[in-house]
Amino acid sequence: MEYTELEDRKVIVFQLGEEEYVIPVRHVGGIERLHPITRVPGTANYIKGVINLRGVVTPIIDLRTRFGMESIQYNEATRIIIVHVNEIEVGFIVDGANDVIDLPDEAIEPSPDVIGTEVYDYIRGVANLNERLLILLDLEKILTEQDIERTQQISRMEG
């Protein structure tokens, strides 16, 4: 699936460190302040646990940890972006969520081969927009099949 599809052009911009990332608005169920997170034993280190969001048990993933970045202390700007991926709902902890923008087709380029980090596996492309370099994430690659199964089990147990 390409980001040039009409419904993927409207995106939410968020931060991890100095980098700005985008995900299509159509995958986003909401942006929340940090909630108390209940740790779940036996999950990957980047799965921080679950939250009860308006009666729905939602697994929470720290994207910094998932991408192999240095952990930081959560603060007032920290947000949880609730996303729908592969028919499940998960929350991504991010350093901050900025704005919603429209990405013009001409701003979107394929993933450059020079990105030498673990994040490369999760990138769909980049957009150069008004001096901003925005990294387009491939949400389906952030969660492994094992993660999806485990989060579904957690949701069923807790819910």
The tens digit of pLDDT for each residue in 65-115 reads: 998 899 999 999 999 999 987 778 899 999 999 899 998 888 888 766 644
The model's pLDDT over 3-55, given as tens digits with 9 standing for 90+, comes to 445 456 899 999 999 999 999 999 999 999 998 999 888 888 888 989 988 88
How far is it, in rounded angstroms, from Cα 111 to Cα 107? Answer: 12
Tokens of 13: 């911009």
- pLDDT at position 119 is 58
3-state secondary structure of 11: strand
Under the banding of pLDDT at 50, 70 and 90, the label for residue 1 is: very low
The model's pLDDT over 120-159, given as tens digits with 9 standing for 90+, comes to 677 888 888 888 889 988 888 887 667 767 766 766 665 5
- pLDDT at position 154 is 63
How far is it, in rounded angstroms, from Cα 5 to Cα 23? Answer: 13
- pLDDT at position 4 is 45
- pLDDT at position 41 is 82
How far is it, in rounded angstroms, from Cα 16 to Cα 93? Answer: 9
For the entire predicted model, the pTM comes to 0.85
How far is it, in rounded angstroms, from Cα 113 to Cα 131? Answer: 20
- pLDDT at position 158 is 53
- CATH annotation of 10-158: 2.40.50.180
Where do the domains of the chain lie?
10-158
Q: Which long-range contacts (CB under 8 A, 24 or more apart) does 123-129 make?
A: 124/2, 124/3, 125/3, 127/3, 127/22, 127/103, 129/101, 129/103, 129/104
Q: What is the mean pLDDT of residues 50-64?
A: 90
